[in-house]
Amino acid sequence: MNQTTLRLACAALGLCAAACGGDESDYETQTNPQYAALAVTQIAGIGSSVDQASPDGSASGVLSLGNVAQNIITPVIEEQQLRRPPVVLPLVGDCTCDAGGCRFDGCSADDGSWTIDGTIDVSGDTYVFDVSMTQTLESDSITTVNELTTSGEITIGDTLIDGHLSGELDTDISVTDEDGTTHVAAWFDWGLTAVEIGLDANRCAVSGSVDASVSAEAESGGRDVDYNGSGTVTLGPACGDATVAP
pTM: 0.82
Q: Supply the pLDDT for residue 151.
A: 97
10 pLDDT band, cuts 50/70/90, is low
Whether residue 79 is predicted with pLDDT greater than 70 in this model: the reply is: no
Given a contact cutoff of 8 angstroms between Cβ atoms, the answer to whether 235 and 209 are in contact is: yes
Q: What is the DSSP string of 47-71?
A: HHHHHTT-HHHHHHHHHHHHHHHHH
Q: Supply the pLDDT for residue 110.
A: 85
- Which residues, listed in sequence order, are joined to residue 198 by a DSSP beta bridge? 160, 207
Q: What is the Cα–Cα distance from 68 to 233, expressed in whole angstroms?
A: 14
Quick one: CA dihedral 96, 97, 103, 107, positive or negative?
positive
Q: What is the pLDDT of residues 189-245, one digit of tens each?
A: 999 999 999 999 999 999 999 999 999 888 877 777 888 899 999 999 999 899 999
18 pLDDT band, cuts 50/70/90, is very low
Instruction: Name the domain count of the chain.
Output: 1
84 pLDDT band, cuts 50/70/90, is low
Q: What is the pLDDT of residues 125-184, one digit of tens each?
A: 999 999 999 988 888 888 889 899 999 999 999 999 999 999 999 988 888 888 888 888
Boundaries of domain holding 84? 3-244
